[in-house]
Amino acid sequence: MSCSDYTNYSEGEPIADTRAPDGPLETRWERRRFAARLVNPANRRKLTVIVVGTGLAGGSAAATLGELGYNVLSFCYQDSPRRAHSIAAQGGINAAKNYAGDGDSVHRLFHDTVKGGDFRSRESNVHRLAQVSTQIIDQCVAQGVPFAREYGGLLDTRSFGGAQVSRTFYARGQTGQQLLLGAYQALSRQIHAGTVRMHPRTEMLDLVVDDGRARGVVVRDLVSGEVSTHLADAVVLATGGYGNVFHLSTNAKGCNTTAIWRAHKKGALFANPCYTQIHPTCIPVSGEHQSKLTLMSESLRNDGRVWVPERAGDPRAPRDIPEQERDYYLERLYPGFGNLVPRDIASRAAKTVCDAGRGVGPGGLGVYLDFAEAIERLGRDTVSARYGNLFEMYQRITDEDPYEVPMRIYPAVHYTMGGLWVDYDLRSTIPGLFVIGEANFSDHGANRLGASALMQGLADGYFVLPAVIGDYLADGPFGPVPPTAVEDAEDEVRQGIAALLAVDGDRTAESFHRELGRLMWELCGMERSEEGLRKALEQIPQLRGEFWRRVKVTGAGGQLNQELEKAGRVADFLELAELMCLDALHRTESCGGHFRVESQTAEGDARRDDDAFSYVAAWEHTGGAPVLHREHLEFTAVRPSVRSYK
41 binds another protein (CB under 8 A): no
- Applying CB under 8 A, among 142, 324, 483, 611 the residue interacting with another protein is 142
Sheet with 168-169, strands from edge to edge, namely 93-94, 168-169, 157-158
- Site residues (CB under 8 A) for another protein, limited to 154-193: 154-155, 171-172, 174, 177-178, 181, 184-186, 188-189, 191-192
151 binds another protein (CB under 8 A): yes
Query: To the nearest whole angstrom, how small is the minimum distance from the Cβ of residue 409 to another protein?
Result: 15
Q: Which helix (H) or strand (E) holds 628?
A: strand 627-632
Q: Which stretch binds another protein (CB under 8 A): 36-44, 106-114, 427-435, 554-562?
A: 554-562
Cα–Cα distance for residue pair 296/91, rounded to 1 Å: 9
510 binds another protein (CB under 8 A): yes
160 near 339, Cβ under 8 Å?
no
410 binds another protein (CB under 8 A): no
- Site residues (CB under 8 A) for another protein, limited to 299-328: none
Residue 174 main-chain phi, psi, to 5 deg = -125, 40
- Site residues (CB under 8 A) for another protein, limited to 269-288: 286-287
Q: Concatenated DSSP letters for 119-139?
A: T-S-HHHHHHHHHHHHHHHHH
87 binds another protein (CB under 8 A): yes
387 binds another protein (CB under 8 A): no
- Applying CB under 8 A, among 56, 62, 137, 585 the residue interacting with another protein is 137
- Site residues (CB under 8 A) for another protein, limited to 63-82: 63-64, 67, 78-82
Query: To the nearest whole angstrom, how small is the minimum distance from the Cβ of residue 244 to another protein?
Result: 12
- Tell me which long-range contacts 1-5 makes (C-beta under 8 A, separation of at least 24): 1/496, 1/499, 1/548, 1/571, 2/575, 2/623, 3/541, 4/575, 4/578, 4/622, 4/623, 4/624, 4/625, 4/626, 5/624, 5/625
388 binds another protein (CB under 8 A): no
User: In the chain, how many H helices and how many E strands?
Assistant: 18, 21
Cα–Cα distance for residue pair 172/431, rounded to 1 Å: 41
Active site annotation includes 343: yes
413 binds another protein (CB under 8 A): no
Binding mask 463-482 for another protein (x = CB under 8 A): x--x----------------
**Residues 375, 381, 383, 384, CA torsion sign:** positive
Based on CB atoms, which residue is closest to another protein, 196 or 449?
196
Residue 468 DSSP symbol: H
Cα–Cα distance for residue pair 434/236, rounded to 1 Å: 5
Query: To the nearest whole angstrom, how small is the minimum distance from the Cβ of residue 296 to another protein?
Result: 10
Based on CB atoms, which residue is closest to another protein, 64 or 124?
64
506 binds another protein (CB under 8 A): yes
Catalytic choice (343, 386, 528, 544): 343
Residue environment code for 249-262, b if the CB has 16+ CB neighbours within 10 A, otherwise e: bbbbebbbbbbbbb
589 near 445, Cβ under 8 Å?
no
Based on CB atoms, which residue is closest to another protein, 98 or 447?
98
549 binds another protein (CB under 8 A): no
555 binds another protein (CB under 8 A): yes
Counting residues that bind another protein (by CB under 8 A) gives: 80
The number of beta carbons lying within 10 Å of the beta carbon of residue 291 is 9
* Catalytic residue numbers, as ranges: 343
